[in-house]
Amino acid sequence: MAEKIRIKDIAERAGVSVGTVDRVLHDRPNVSKPAREKVEQALKEMNYQPNMYASALAYNKSYTFYLLLPKHESEAYWEEIEEGARKCEESKRDFHINVKINFYERSSEESFIEQGKAIIEEKPEGVIIVPSSLEITRALTDQLHELNIPFILLDSYMPDLRPLSFFGQDSFCSGFFAAKMLMMLAFKEKEIMLMRQTKNGIVVSKQQDNREVGFRHYMHDHFPSVKINVLDLPLDGSRAEFMKMLEKYFATYPDTHHCITLTSKAHIVGDFLLKTNRRDVQIMGYDMVEKNAKCLREGSISFLIAQHAYMQGYNCVETLFRALVLKKKVTPVNYMPIELLMKENIDFYRRTQL
């Protein structure tokens, strides 16, 4: 184990006082240029590594990080994000880290603007953002840049906004992968169903939209003759409404045996298949939320693509902590793994590796 280097040792090596070394280590004023150079040379020769954790604790400053998330129901992808962020907040309680969450309506740009304004007024040390459209999000992030408040993008990567970091899947590759896995089962089919969640017929999630681009790209190149029947379920629809729409769909397209959704709502179709005892239809979806896991175990869902939502929430807060409290460099782009879950391996899936 390396011997601990004391401030006294550095002072003796540099030929200056202990007070001078302390001022240099903490970047305080009133140090002459020759004295600073002597201390810096001594630090280099002694391979001094500062204890950033001890320094941060000694500083005793509090930090508030805001998380701007879409409103959601329980057992959703976003709930896992929240839990991960809260876990990181708990693990950093000695450093006075506070995580606050503001929610906006996913289909409302006005709601995003309103919640973003509320966050700006609080002047937090850092912000984690699930983006709205590019231009609406840019209006918020431009203000954050002006105020020197670092921010992390979660779920959708928009490099033009110059975030401190990004966490999420490569959406295009994820959709391409999903199509490839689906067609390993459905390669003999003439049609498949693509279930989407929309607001007035429009996909409001940039991630879902990008996944569909990747999905269709694979289908166009490898299965151009397979018909893709689109079923749009309204974001604010009820369970009863969904059941009626699915009944109508399968009455209209009785030869559909494979379905896919690029959201975390595969359980909507999965529950319908179980209730109607449709054992000749399989669905593939995203995210290891409990409702999806139940359908996977009971056989109405064939595959789930996992993206470690809990880890994303945790790592976003951790990254702000490292950048702002420990003054460390952070990785700018963090793509999450694309993992395939089935009935046989779901019980071995690690929600977190932390």
Q: 292-322, pLDDT tens digit by residue?
A: 999 999 999 999 999 888 999 999 999 999 9
Q: Which CATH number do you get for residue 38?
A: 1.10.260.40
What's the pLDDT at 51?
Answer: 62
What's the pLDDT at 108?
Answer: 87
pTM above 0.85, yes or no: no
Question: Do residues 156 and 203 both lie within one domain?
Answer: no
Question: Do residues 134 and 184 both lie within one domain?
Answer: no
Task: Please count the structural domains in the chain.
Answer: 3
**Average pLDDT over every residue of 109-125:** 96
Instruction: Give CA angle at 275 (270, 277), nearest 5°.
Output: 90
CB atoms within 10 A of CB 243: 15
| pLDDT over 60 at 256, yes or no | yes
Question: Do residues 185 and 299 both lie within one domain?
Answer: yes
Among the listed residues 249, 255, 254, the one whose alpha carbon sits nearest the alpha carbon of residue 195: 249
Question: What is the end-to-end Cα distance of the chain in Å, rounded?
Answer: 26
**Torsion, Cα of 235, 236, 242, 246 (10° steps):** -30
What's the pLDDT at 2?
Answer: 45
Instruction: Give CA angle at 190 (187, 196), nearest 5°.
Output: 90
Those residues with Cβ within 8 angstroms of residue 180's Cβ, 6 or more apart along the chain or in another chain = 218, 222
**Average pLDDT over every residue of 233-239:** 88
For residue 265, being part of any structural domain is answered with yes
What's the pLDDT at 216?
Answer: 98
**Average pLDDT over every residue of 225-231:** 97
Name the residue range of residue 30's domain. Answer: 7-50
Which of 74-78, 164-168, 306-310, 319-323 bottoms out in mean pLDDT, i.e. has the lowest?
74-78
Question: Do residues 195 and 140 both lie within one domain?
Answer: no
Find out whether 202 and 237 touch, Cβ atoms under 8 Å. no
Q: Which helix (H) or strand (E) holds 306?
A: strand 301-306
Q: Which residue has the higher pLDDT, 106 or 316?
A: 316
For residue 65, being part of any structural domain is answered with yes
Percent of the chain with pLDDT over 70: 93
Q: In what order do the strands lie in the sheet with 301-306?
A: 227-234, 191-198, 258-261, 282-286, 301-306, 339-341
| pLDDT over 50 at 205, yes or no | yes
For residue 272, being part of any structural domain is answered with yes
Token reading at 324: 């702002």
For residue 81, being part of any structural domain is answered with yes
| pLDDT over 80 at 65, yes or no | yes
Q: What is d(CA 242, CA 272) in angstroms, rounded to the nearest whole number? A: 9
Report the mean per-residue pLDDT for the chain: 90
What's the pLDDT at 170?
Answer: 94
For residue 31, being part of any structural domain is answered with yes
Question: Do residues 221 and 299 both lie within one domain?
Answer: yes
Question: Do residues 144 and 222 both lie within one domain?
Answer: no
Q: How confident is the model at residue 50 (pLDDT cuts 50, 70, 90)?
A: low
For residue 348, being part of any structural domain is answered with no
Q: Which CATH number do you get for residue 187?
A: 3.40.50.2300
Question: Do residues 121 and 219 both lie within one domain?
Answer: no
The burial class, CB within 10 Å (0-12 / 13-18 / 19+), for 338 is: middle
CA quadruple 244, 247, 252, 258: dihedral sign: positive
What's the pLDDT at 227?
Answer: 97
Question: Do residues 201 and 89 both lie within one domain?
Answer: no
Question: Do residues 182 and 274 both lie within one domain?
Answer: yes
Question: Do residues 158 and 126 both lie within one domain?
Answer: yes
Buried b (16+ CB within 10 A) or exposed e, 70-104: beeeebbbbbbbbbbbbbbbeebeebebebebbeb
For residue 354, being part of any structural domain is answered with no
Question: Do residues 223 and 136 both lie within one domain?
Answer: no
What's the pLDDT at 93?
Answer: 87
Question: Do residues 229 and 240 both lie within one domain?
Answer: yes
For residue 353, being part of any structural domain is answered with no
